[in-house]
Structure formats: C-alpha cells, structure tokens
Structure 1
Amino acid sequence: MHLKYRPDIDGLRALAVISVIVYHLNNHWLPGGFIGVDVFFVISGFLITKIIYREIISNQFSFKNFYQRRINRILPVFFSVMLCTSFVAWYLLLPDEFMLFLRSLKSTTYFWENMFFAKNTGGYWDSSAEQMPILHTWSLAVEEQFYILLPLILLLLLKIRFQTENKLLRLNINTILLILFVIAIISFALAQISPKYSFLNKYNYYSLFTGRAGELLIGSIVGILQIKIDEHSPKKNYLHSFIFTNIFTIIGSIALIFSFLFISKKYLFPSIWTLIPTLGTALILYFYHPKSIITRIFSLIPLVYIGKISYSLYLWHWPIIVLAKKYLFIEHLVTFKHYAYITITCIILSILSFYFIEKPCRKNNKSFKFSLIIYYILPSLLILSIYYIHKKNRSLDFRFEKRIKLYNLQKQFLDPQSNFCHNVINDNCIFGDTSKEPSILLIGDSNAAHYGPYLDEAGKYYHFSVKIITNDRHVCAVLPDERAILSLKEFENECTEFIKYLNKAIDKARIIIFTNRQENLYYNIKTRFILSNSLPKFIDFLNKKGKKVIFLAQVPMLNANEYDKYYYYFLINKTFDTHNMLSHIEEKSNNFVYNIIKNKALYFNPLNDLDENSKKSWPIYNSLLAYSKDNNHLNEYVTRQWAKEVLPKQKAFWERIARIANKSN
C-alpha cells in the first residue's frame, strides 16, 4: 500500500543527513548534529507504521510483501557500500584493525551491529569508535530490529479480542495508542536511568530498547494519528488549520534547531533530552499543511533532492571520512581542501548509487525469493566467507607478508603461550625462577601486567619468583575507592572473588610490586582523589602488614595517531620519523605519585637504566616498537629485549629484593 507522497518529509530527511555529515566532518561546527539520526528514527517510525497499520486494518498485510519492500529499499545499496568499503579498508587498515572491521561487517549480516559496537567500543564518542568505518550502521540495525518487532506488536494489538457482557470486542484505537505511548515512556526511562546500571549504560546509545524504541514509537503514534487526518479533510479539524499548523511546525523546527546547536555529547543521550528533537520532529510530521511556511521550506527542490538521496549519503559519508583520515594520517580534517574533497566524493558516490542501485532495486517487481537470495543471502554469504576464511589463516594479509610476523609480535600484549594469567585467577601464575617460593606479588591493572615479562626475566636473572595477579580496571580495580567509583555491577561477583583471592595472596607475600594507569586518574577531577588519598592509604595498609612495597612508574605514553602511522609504515617497510611519538602526558602523574608515596614505598622506573641511545630512540627499541595494542601498553616481545639490557645495571636493587624474597621463614 503506497502512501501519499509528502515532499516536506524528504526535506526533513535532508536536514537530518546534512546535520549528521556536518557533525562528523567537524563536531565543533554543529555540536548536536548527531541528533539527525534521531530525526530519521521518528520519520521511519511514522512512515512504516502508517503502511503496516493501514494494511492490517484493511486485511492486506503480508509479512512477505512487507519484508520484500524493506529488502529492496535497504539492502542492495547497503551491501554495495559495505563491499566497496571492505576493499578500501583492506588496503588502508592495519591487519588487526581490518580483522575488527571484518567482525563488525559480519554482524551486519544478522542486523546486530549496534550491539557489536556497544560491546567493542567505549561508547559512541570514544576515540576507538571514530576509527570504525561502518560504525554508522548501528542506526540501521536498530531500525531493522524495530521492523521485525513492530508488525508483530501491531498485529497482536489489532487482532486481540476480549469478552465483555457477552460481546467479543477489539481494543480500540485509543487503547492501542496508549499502549504504544507507555512502551515509549519506558524506553526513555531506561535511557534516563542508564548511568546507574553498568549494563544499561554500556548499551544505552546503541540499543533499540533504551530511548531508540521511544523515538520510533513516537513516530508510530503520530503515524496512526495522521491516518485519521488523511481519512478526514484537515478543514474539519481546526488544529490543522493554516494558522495552527504554522504555529506547531515552527515550534517543532525551533526544537530541532535548538537540539542541533545546544545538545552535545556532554549531555546524557539518549535521555530526557531526546524528547526535544523527537517531539519537534513529531510536530512537523503531524501538523502538515501544504501551504504552511515550514512545509514550503522543506519542500524546496534542493532539499527534496538531498532527501531523496539521503540514504545513500548516510551510508557513504562515514566510511569516506574515517578512511580518508586513515589515508591522510590526520586526527581532524583541518583544511578546506580536505572537507571539499570528502564532501564531493560523498555526493558523487551517493548520486551514482541512488540512480544505479537504490532506485532500480526499489522498483524491482520480481519475487520475494529473488529479493531474498540476490539482495540478502548472496551478499551475506560473501561477507561471511571472507570473514571466516581470513579469520582462519589471515589470507588477506598477503600484501604485508614479509613484515607481518614482526608486526604481530609487536602488536601482541602478552604471548598466550606465556600464560601470564591477566584477568584470570590461577595459582600457577608464578614466573621468574620458579624453583623459589613466590614471596613477591605483582598486582594492578593491565599497566602492571605488561611488566610481567620484565619481572619474569628479573626473577630468572636474580633467582627469585613472582606471583602475578592483575585485572583490567573495568572489571575490578585494586584500589578500594576506585572500585566504589566504578561500581560495575555486571562484574560484581567476579570482582568479589578477585579481591578475596588478592587479599589471601597479599597475606602470603613479603614484597608487593604495584602499579596502575595513574595518568587517567590524575587528569580526571572525579578520580584524582584516589591518587592523593586512596593510594597512600593502600600503601600504609600494606606497610602495616609488614610488606615491602615497590611502585613501578607508568611507561611513557604515545601519541595515538603517531602510533598508527608507525605500524603502517612498518608494514610497507618505509622509514618513519618517530620524534613526535611520545606524548609525555604521563610525566605529571608520575611525579605526583612519586611525591605522595616516596616516604612509604620504593618508587622504581625500570626504563631509567636504558642507555642513552635507547632512551633517545624510545619507543623504538632494536628497530621495533615497544608498545602493543595501544599507546600505553608494552608488548612482551620487545620488553624481554630491553629487560636483558637494563637488568645487569640494576644489580644492587634486585639482589636486595631477592634477599628479602628468599629469606627463610
């Protein structure tokens, strides 16, 4: 069943897609531009519900016809863009980045990429998310999930019967609207309370159920209400008179402009704030009048044209921006030339895909079976085949064949064969000279774990053993105050077990070697007190137990962008200038920690004993990068190499430690 065409909706789509693209080019230009996606959600709920509702009440609804229209409309251009992006990503991304990309691509075949990105990023505004070429497809997954649930819900509500006074009655339209409204309110409420619950917080931005369902259902409610207006002349409804439609659509437009200009990533989103653009869009959709000012503006030919190609524009823009940054090795597209090239490329590709893929496939009159196989099953099988073949033997890394082995060794945090037990409770996590009783204990987060190979070498060299108990901070921080701040309820049981195990190990040890990533505590106003109060208290607690405490310095941190550049140049065997790799961001926090614990514990920096040439070339050591998965974690391969250089120079320190450790009871 076809809807009467409204050009103003295409104009509204144009506003939405332009805001998103502008935000992604430079978020300082339009702080709330990401809200364009929310405008799309309301429009989608509005249009899809009108189609489904009309077909159900006229007994014309068919799941097969509905999903064929969705397949024809969405999937051909979607998979075309995904496959084009895959080729460029293969050429530009580092091998581990490309593997992550393929994992995200695989999730698109079953419309689960929103959950994938929620699980594999620190959030929509996290720096890791900005480097994922198909991150933007999360919104399409939300819509697809909604398209699966909405027909079922409407069918249930419209077909349900109940007995009253010997009569068999259906739910009336007002009751159905009330039920949809209640579900929408619950969705917004879940988004609003999400910071209090780690699971909700993690999935808040990307999930259908936290806020997004509310936006789509507001569109659905307006769509059903609009059907009444479509069935009866607007002239019979004074609210749809020329004056009132102007007033309400102008209010709606002001709400959108306010949202784009003033709601930013500083606010919890989605949340109660989401109601502003959601209701603003709903007002524009509901109070339609062909002669109103807002309708005329949104019906302008340039806006309508952009709205028609908005789906292609949305699909192309983000991969182009991300991969252009990767190609140019810049964090921000700072010149007019960059913006112009990206915008022009995006427009050209969108126009081509609209006319040669999107439009012809949408008009496809062939069978459902044809659409399902050609537009969904075959592209999905191709993607899954590429993913599983590459996962098995990394066959697509062939262009880096000569350098890939050394690359992998540098990118490896801890060798799985070494069994360092990070994030694992295991009594066999003992290293160094394992013939000795393990009375030295290394504790902390992943920034402690990366010292494990160094301590393993030290133990072998000076004849002592080290027990290692480290855990990622997001699972369970060692410092009590930090655990209280994080309050990660989803890891509560795991954390309780970890702390019990840790306390038993502390009781048995003579020497405690401790470190963590203090830099992000130091520069965060909410957590800085942990360094100034909790850390000294924790060391006092250990001292009272008669423990010798050694605090290891945080290693120099790298500029993340330079880190990526190094690995790309390394793989293509090209010389790279490493002088700008160190960020020096950790220096203040290291000095701060030294000053607050210097009378309570030994403060030790193993890297201080590197020779002058090694210090000068750091973070490059023996022509290899010493860092692994990111800009603040050492890799095991290079750590063992520099450990063998510095350990002979640290004889006095480690022999003293070994004597204490091996002292008989």
Structure 2
Amino acid sequence: MQQMTAIMPARRKWRDGLREEFFPRDRRRDIDGLRALAVAAVVLMHAGWLSGGFVGVDIFVVISGYFMGRSALMQDPFQPARFACRRLYRLLPALLCMVAVISAGMLWWVLQSDRADIALNGAYALVYLSNIWAAGHVGYFEGQALAYPFLHTWSLSLEMQFYAVIFVVAVMLPRVRWRLYALLGILAVSAGCSLHDHLAGDGQGYYRITDRMWEFALGTLIWMLPRPRLPRAVANVAYALALCVLVGACVFYARDYACPSWGVVFPCLAVVAIIMLPHTDVARVTLGPVSPLGVISYSVYLWHWPVIVLANYLLMFQVAGLTMAGVLVVALLVGLLSYVFVERTFLDYEGRAGTVARNRGALALVCACGLLSAGLGYVSYTSRVH
C-alpha cells in the first residue's frame, strides 16, 4: 500500500511537470496556438504540401512585435540590460547549436562550391545578417534554395534587427507617448517601402527589414489600441473569422501574395484580431490544444529546414511523399530535444542567475557566435580560393 502511494505522487508529479512545461499557466495558449499554426504552415510549405505556408512568417512577425511592445516600449523605465539578456538567451543558444552541428556534419563532405556558400550563409546567420546574404544569393522560392541549410535563418535575422530598432527607440525616447509616435512613423515608412517594392516587382524585398517592419510595428501597436468589448457570441464569431482568414491564406495563397504584396495585410490583421480577443470559446477548442507545438516552435523552426536539406543531400533525390513525412518526424523530434536540452536550459538559467552572471553569460554567447561566424567565414574563403 505504501509502495502504491509512493508511485502515485511520482506519476502525478511527472504529469504535472509535463503540463507545466507544455501548457504553462503564465502564457496565453491561443498565442502559442498561433505559433503552432505558423510553424506548421512553414514546415508544410517547405515539405511541398502547402502553397501559402510563407504566411507563417508573417504570423511570427506580428506576434514578435506584440511581445516586444510589452517588453520594451510599454516599460517605464526601460531596462536595457534585462531586455538584451532575455533576447540573447532566448535566441542564441539554439541557433549556435544548430549551426555548429550542421556545419560539422556537412562541410567536410559537400562540394567545395557548396561548402563555400553554406559556410558563408552560416557565418551571416550567426551575426543575424542572413537576410542580407539571402537577398544577394538566392530567391526564397527557387529550387536552388534546397542547397542551403541555413537559408531559413533570414527570418531570425529580421527579428533580431527589429529588436535592435526597438531597443534604440526605447532608450532614446523615455516616454511611452513619444515611442508611439516613433512606431507610427516606422509603420508608415515601412509600408511605403513595401508598397514601392511590390509595384516595382522586386521579389527580394521578401528578405528586407524595410519591407517587414510595418508587420512588427502592427503587432507592437496592439498594446496602444483600445481593447474591444464585444458580447461573447460576437467575439467568438470575429475570432473564428480571423482564424479562417489565416488558415485560408496558408492553404490558398500563391507565392505572388508573399511580402511585399497587398495580400499579406489580411493575415496580419487577422493575427491582430486574434490577439486582441483573448479567452474566447473558439480559442479554447482550436488553438489551445495545439499550443504545445507553439511552445517548441522556435526549435522546430530552427531544425526542420536543415533536416530537409540534409535528407536531400544524403538520399540524392528530392524528398517527397512518405519519405518527406519521415523526415518531418525526425525534424520534430530533433526540435523537441533542442527545446528541452538547449533552449529551455538557457532560459531557466537566465531566469535564476544573478545579474553579473547573467550578463557575463550573455557576453559569452555573443563571443561564441562571433568566433564560430569567423571560423565559418574562413572556411568559406579558403574553399573559394582553392
């Protein structure tokens, strides 16, 4: 009897730990569900199963802007060191691990020309300039994209560049009202740049921060907009319509609707509507159940594309069908391991470490990324020379 009593609390503790990890109480499950929808859309597009999966990036961008509004622009006073450390611990460890593992596993056996480009792309990814490298080397929707395992890091570079802009705005403008005006100015200028590139047919605007900044700013503005007070039934209908817009865009959009394009306005506004309507019944039965995938979405996003590229290299044919399904299962498992042992570990450390230790750890992460970036740059240079 005593043994059974001991086993039951152990099982309960194990289950409670899993529930707390993947259904955390301090997070909005519907936003994690949005993340799940976004990463699923991107992964399925890369698998060749979804034409409009690029909308997932737009979803991520608006969500990122929303959280940066709370972390930076709505903070008075703003804490620069705390903000920077949180971002660095959140993003750098998993990225550094992925680039290091894939580089070590691929660069010694691929062709010299491929080695040079892959290494250079990895070097740019580690200093968050991958979008600039991509804009000058490869179209996102072209077949040759399968040769570059770090190409997907262009969106992470956009995110970090946005963080830098928000950091400067928060430091230079101490009052929230001033920050609002700056944000509106950023949104207007970026929307103008995106419209110009759309009319000019400049597809490489897909990678540019100037063409995406309005999406980030739109998410940040959520904190400064009045909250709608709708009857429960009306809120559910509005939420369902916004979710249908997102799913419909992911399923039916063609690449012509990718940013810069007027078509991205609708999914971005749908994300804003969903974020501004929390705790609806529709959210609980649709986005809530898939929220665990949203919790690990960053690591899944990091690893899914390198795994797909590596599979195409090793199998020597373009992976599709059941083979692709197996590849995606592997990518999901690797992403889960990355979340548990890398991403979560460093975030937990950042949360409990003292100020000095936390700051030194962030500096060490930056230095590690810089050193590996320099090493990959050297590999790229020597591969081209010889």
Give the TM bin, normalised by the shorter chain: 0.7 to 0.9
SS in 1 for 2:207: coil
* Aligned counterpart, 2:365: 375
Cα–Cα, structure 1 residues 38 and 311, in superposed 2: closer, same or farther, change >3 Å? same
Deviation at 1:107, TM superposition (A): 1.1
Give 1:186's aligned residue. 189
| 1:335 maps onto 2:335 in alignment | no
Tell me if structure 1 keeps the 8 A contact 2:198–2:261.
no
In structure 2, runs of 5+ residues without a counterpart are 1-24
Matched residue type, 1:313? V
Q: Where do residues 33-72 of structure 1 align in structure 2 (5 Å cutoff)?
A: 33-55=53-75, 57=76, 59=77, 61-72=78-89
Find the aligned partners of 1:45 and 1:223 in 2 and give their Cα distance. Answer: 10
Q: Would the alpha carbon gap of residues 340 and 44 (structure 1) be closer, same or farther in structure 2, given more than 3 Å must change?
A: same
CA contact (8 A) 2:52 2:255 kept: yes
Aligned-partner Cα distance in 2 for 1:34–1:268: 7
Q: Which residue, out of 129, 145, 165, partners 1:112?
A: 129
The Cα of 1:195 is off from its aligned counterpart by: 5.0
Q: Retained in 1: the 8 A contact 2:191–2:214?
A: yes
In the TM superposition, residue 340 of structure 1 has moved relative to its aligned partner by: 2.8
The one-letter amino acid paired with 2:271 is T
Tell me the CA shift for residue 385 of structure 1: 2.4
Q: How much has 1:96 moved relative to structure 2?
A: 1.0
| Aligned residue in 2 for 1:206 | 207
Measure how far apart 1:217 and its partner are. 0.7
**Paired AA for residue 34 in structure 2:** L
Counterparts of 1:111 and 1:325, CA distance in 2: 26
Could you tell me which residue of structure 2 aligns to residue 261 of structure 1?
251
How many angstroms does 1:368 deviate by?
A: 3.8
Q: What are the superposed Cα offsets for residues 361-380 of structure 1, whole Å, 9 maximum, x if unpaired? A: 01112524322233221232
Deviation at 1:106, TM superposition (A): 1.2
How far 1:146 sits from its partner (Å)? 0.3
Letter in 2 for 1:149: V
2:341 to 356, 364, 380: 356
Judge conservation of contact 1:47–1:223 (CA < 8 Å) in 2: no
CA 1:185–1:253: 2 relative to 1, 3 Å: farther
Structure 1 position 178, deviation (Å): 5.8
Q: Deviations over 1:498-543 (max 9, x none)?
A: xxxxxxxxxxxxxxxxxxxxxxxxxxxxxxxxxxxxxxxxxxxxxx
The structure whose RCO (Cα within 8 Å, separation 6+) is larger is: 2
TM-score, with length taken from structure 2: 0.85
Q: Distance in 2 between matches of 1:298 and 1:202?
A: 32
Q: Which residue of 1 aligns with 2:281?
A: 292
Root-mean-square deviation (CA, aligned residues, Å) is: 2.4
C-alpha distance in structure 2 between counterparts of 1:104 and 1:131, whole Å: 11
Q: Indicate yes or no: 2:310 matched with 1:323.
A: yes
* Structure with the larger strand share: 1
Shift of 1:154: 3.9
Shift of 1:292: 2.5
| Alpha-carbon offset, residue 315 of structure 1 | 0.2
Distance 2:169 2:204 in 1: 23
Q: Which whole-Å CA distance do the structure 1 matches of 2:105 and 2:33 have between them?
A: 32
1:147 maps to 2:147: no
Give the Cα separation in 1 of the matches to 2:102 and 2:268. 31
Aligned to 1:33, the other structure's residue is in SS state: coil
CA distance in 1 between counterparts of 2:368 and 2:206 reads: 31
AA in 2 matched with 1:186: V
Residue 347 in structure 1 maps to residue 332 in structure 2: yes
1:79 aligned partner, one-letter code: L
Q: Is the 8 A contact 1:92 1:327 kept in 2?
A: no
For residues 204 and 363 of structure 2, the distance between their equivalents in structure 1, rounded to whole angstroms, comes to 32
Aligned residues between the structures: 357
| Amino acid paired to 2:229 | Y
How far residue 357 of structure 1 moved from its aligned partner, in angstroms, is: 0.7
Contact 1:189 1:271 survives alignment (8 Å): no
Q: Which structure has the larger Rg?
A: 1
Shift in alpha-carbon separation, 1:87–1:384, aligned structure 2, 3 A: same
Q: 1:326 is aligned with what amino acid?
A: Y
Aligned to 1:308: 295
Residue deviations 1:41-66 (CA, integer Å, cap 9, x gap): 011100111121332x2x2x221111
The match for 2:36 is 14
Could you say what secondary structure the match of 2:141 adopts?
coil
Partner Cα separation in structure 1 for residue 361 and residue 170 of structure 2: 25
Give the corresponding residue for 1:85. 102
For residue 392 of structure 1, report the CA deviation from its aligned partner. Answer: 5.6
* Partner residue, 2:140: 124
Does the 8 Å contact 2:120/2:380 carry over to 1? Answer: no
Quote the Cα distance in structure 2 between the aligned partners of 1:133 and 1:392.
18
**Counterpart in the other structure of 1:485:** none
Specify whether residues 339 and 203 from structure 1 end up closer, same or farther in structure 2 by C-alpha distance, changes over 3 A only: closer
* Offset of residue 177 of structure 1: 4.3
Deviation at 1:277, TM superposition (A): 0.8
User: How far is 1:40 from its partner?
Assistant: 0.4
Rounded Cα–Cα distance in structure 2 between residues aligned with 1:112 and 1:383: 11
Q: In structure 2, give the amino acid aligned to 1:345.
A: V
**Contact residue 23 and residue 34 of structure 1 kept, 8 A:** yes
Please give the alpha-carbon distance, in whole angstroms, between the structure 2 residues aligned to 1:294 and 1:127. 37
* 8 A Cα contact 1:38 1:215, kept in partner: yes
Letter in 2 for 1:22: L
For residues 352 and 262 of structure 1, what CA distance do their matches in structure 2 show?
33
- State the partner residue of 2:91: 74
Q: Is the contact between residue 300 and residue 331 of structure 2 (CA under 8 Å) also seen in structure 1?
A: yes
Q: Would you say the 8 A contact 1:20–1:37 is kept in 2?
A: yes
Percent sequence identity is 27
Sort the Cα spacing of 1:98 and 1:392 in 2 relative to 1 into closer, same or farther, 3 A.
closer
Q: Which amino acid letter does the alignment assign opposite residue 360 of structure 1?
A: T
Deviations 1:74-118 (A, max 9, x none): 110111011111122214521111111111111123211101100
The corresponding residue for 1:252 is: 242
Shift of 1:260: 0.7
CA contact (8 A) 1:42 1:278 kept: yes
SS of aligned partner of 1:330: coil
Higher helix share: 2
Task: Decide whether the 8 Å contact of 1:317 with 1:346 is kept in 2.
Answer: yes
Question: Residues 384 and 355 of structure 1: is their aligned pair in 2 closer, same or farther, counting only changes over 3 Å?
Answer: same
> 1:479: which partner in 2?
none
CA contact (8 A) 2:53 2:250 kept: yes
- Preserved CA contact (<8 Å) 1:31 1:263: yes
- The aligned counterpart of 1:418 is none
Q: Name stretches of at least 5 consecutive residues in structure 1 with no aligned partner.
A: 160-170, 230-236, 398-404, 409-665
Following superposition, the deviation at residue 4 of structure 1 comes to 4.8
Structure 1 residues 378 and 184: alpha-carbon distance in aligned structure 2, compared to 1, 3 A threshold: same
Residue pairs, 1:483-562, within 5 angstroms = none
